[in-house]
Amino acid sequence: MVNVLLLGATGYIGGSLLVSLKKAYPEVVITALVRSESDFPAIRAAGAAPMRGSFSDHDLIADLSASADIVVNAADSDDVALASAILRGLRRRKEEGRGVGAFIQTSGGAVFMDDRMDGEFDPNLKIWTDTEEDIRSLTTKMPHAQVDIPIMKASEEGHVNSFIICPPIVFGRGSGPVKRESVFFKLVLAGANILERKEMVYIGEGSNVNGAVHIDDLVEAYHLIFKLALEAGPGLLASSPYSRYYVAGSIRVDWKTLATIFATELHKRGLIKSPVPVSVSYEDAGSFNWYMAKNTAMRNGRILELGWTPKHADLSEDTFAHDVDAALKEMNASTVS
């Protein structure tokens, strides 16, 4: 019987993964770290055993990790102490003679961001891939890499079998037992003060690019990686951990196009003045400007070799309709007449 520790079960990605994993592997025992007891019934109904705790309960997380065959962190891509606690527990598991455990970590496309502040596409921009050469060139100064690199080093040293999945912007309605909405859209609307200024914005010419993936397609990518972790069992994989880093994006889009889709949805609801977004400076774009101005150029490779075939490969005018409605609901926005 396989024991899994899942972090993020009440969240958007982790919750969707929980529901999907239990459907595919009903015999797998999943323990979910949950902060609030009010979420226990929903987690139990989804098929997991809730354990009360927070991401700062490092000793508890280490203990749970030591007892797990596979640990999945779908909660926080930047918490070094959390990842360290997981690694501490998995090291103990090996030292106690129970074999090598697997660690599936969720990273994010921001690891590949450039340093532009003008909202322009750079024709000489490096297109990052998940080749071993590219992944070995990550540094701890890059977002998320301060977590990713120690995990891969621990795997290289033989303590764990690591797998890292790296999605860009995630959209679509999730299927989790608690939270089912992407946080990205709220970050854009709130960070750029869109509802207050009553216009959708992008920075500069808006030709800078990012990636996107539908939550259902992302969950399918997790399944392929989870299968690899199951097949590995308690033995140490001979493959390099730098070859077990998987970029998982299905759509490439420039920020002006992204802003236009947002503007169309917000204008339909009477919340902004025009369906046409406007260009603003970096300084005028609000607190989310650090993300809106940059390029994140990444290309799938290894996940496709595993047989990943995303069903949502392009964007249409109404692609983000649900996501925008969910963000507005959370922000308590009302339609104007």
In angstroms, the CA 72 to CA 21 distance is 11
| Confidence band for 82, pLDDT divided at 50, 70 and 90 | very high
Above 90 in pLDDT, residue 301? Answer: yes
SS3 call for 169: strand
Above 60 in pLDDT, residue 227? Answer: yes
In this prediction, residue 164 carries a pLDDT of 98
| Confidence band for 337, pLDDT divided at 50, 70 and 90 | very low
In angstroms, the CA 101 to CA 320 distance is 38
Name the more confident of 330 and 271: 271
Above 50 in pLDDT, residue 336? Answer: no
Q: What is the pLDDT of residues 252-262, one digit of tens each?
A: 999 999 999 99
Q: What is the pLDDT of residues 101-160, one digit of tens each?
A: 999 999 999 999 999 999 999 999 999 999 999 999 999 999 999 999 999 999 999 999
Residue 74 corresponds to which amino acid? Answer: A
Angle, in degrees to the nearest 10, between helices 215-232 and 12-24: 60
Across the chain, mean pLDDT equals 96
Above 80 in pLDDT, residue 335? Answer: no
In this prediction, residue 315 carries a pLDDT of 87
Mean pLDDT on 270-277? 97
**For the chain, what percent of residues have pLDDT higher than 70?**
99
Consecutive H or E run containing 159? none
In angstroms, the CA 293 to CA 116 distance is 6
- Which residues make beta-bridge pairs with 7? 33, 73
Looking at the chain, list the stretches that DSSP marks H as alpha helix, in order from N- to C-terminal side. Answer: 12-24, 40-45, 58-66, 80-95, 132-136, 145-156, 184-191, 194-197, 215-232, 255-268, 289-292, 302-305, 321-330
| Confidence band for 22, pLDDT divided at 50, 70 and 90 | very high
Shortest CA distance to 250 belongs to which of 145, 126, 166? Answer: 166
Above 80 in pLDDT, residue 317? Answer: no
Mean pLDDT on 224-243? 98
Mean pLDDT on 168-173? 96
Mean pLDDT on 15-27? 98
Q: Could you tell me the CA-to-CA distances from 189 to 220, 292, 304 in Å, in that order?
A: 29, 12, 33
In this prediction, residue 333 carries a pLDDT of 61
In angstroms, the CA 7 to CA 4 distance is 10
Above 60 in pLDDT, residue 204? Answer: yes
